[in-house]
Amino acid sequence: MIEFLGEVAAWFADPATWSGRDGIPVRLWEHLWISGVSLTAAIGVGLPLGLAIGHTGKGARAVVAIANIGRAVPSLGLMGLAFIVLLPLGLGVGPLPTIIALTALGIPPIVVNAYVGLREVDRDLVEAARGMGMRAGEILRRVEIPIALPVILAGVRTSAVQIVATATLAAAIGGGTLGQLIYIGFNVGDQVRIFGAALVVAALSIATEIGFATLQRAATSPGLRDRAYVPTEPAQVGRGGADSSP
């Protein structure tokens, strides 16, 4: 075991590991931009949806359904499906099928957390805001979102980590990423490379987690920072039954 870890360390120290089309820098960059595009798309689709459902309070059942389906659908299967559909368009080989699968993977936590985050905002505050003459959009922007922000960002954080950890799938169909090193390792029987590349993916996932956690803390309004409840897990749908009315 120690010997193996020594070999892994030697692999990291070898300049060849850091050069060329299949070196860590090229594939790491690919991993980052594919993850970034997927996360952006997931936010673009999931956040408006979650905010709409959360603000109106309607559609709890839809949210539960989205959450459950999203956790059950295998990313590899979705990627394969996208591959087949995109082939006739000349876009099957490359990052696109993976981006589609990763976006689908990232949407549920964002939708669910946006919904629950808004639902947990004290109804009295919303009533008071309405009493002050604020309209729906204003209430959302100036009251609900700032209070719900930590929970919303926790959802983004969960999606980000899942996307970064799963982006390795792209290597199966010409999308590259750090998964390329893992596939090569498997195909030539090089366990050192498989382990090394997996370590980089793990480190990247952890860095993503820490990065977004920091962002979450920084974005939390000072008035909320003393709250006993600090969200660290993806929110569970079905809580806050008393707040089911808009």
CB of 171 to other proteins, least distance (A): 6
- Residues in contact with other proteins by CB under 8 A are 21-22, 83-84, 87-88, 90-94, 171-174, 176, 180, 183-184, 186-189
Q: What are the φ/ψ torsions at residue 231 (nearest 5 degrees)? A: -70, 125
Nearer to other proteins, 86 or 230 (CB): 86
CB of 85 to other proteins, least distance (A): 11
Take residue 224 and report the two structure tokens written for it: 């909320």
CB of 188 to other proteins, least distance (A): 5
Q: How far apart are alpha carbons 57 and 126 in whole angstroms? A: 13
**Dihedral (CA of 142, 156, 173, 68) sign:** negative
Nearer to other proteins, 173 or 204 (CB): 173
CB of 174 to other proteins, least distance (A): 4
CB of 74 to other proteins, least distance (A): 17
**Residue 98, CA distances (Å) to 9, 34, 75, 151, 170 in order:** 30, 8, 8, 27, 5
In sequence order, the 6+-apart residues with CB closer than 8 A to the CB of 178 are 24, 27, 28, 31, 167, 168, 197, 200, 201, 204
Which residue type is seen at 124? D
How far does Cα 69 stand from its chain's mean position?
Answer: 16
Nearer to other proteins, 21 or 135 (CB): 21
**Could you give the 3-state DSSP secondary structure of residue 227?**
coil
CA dihedral 126, 128, 129, 131 (to 10 degrees): 120
Q: How far apart are alpha carbons 68 and 55 in whole angstroms? A: 21
CB of 93 to other proteins, least distance (A): 4
Nearer to other proteins, 58 or 186 (CB): 186
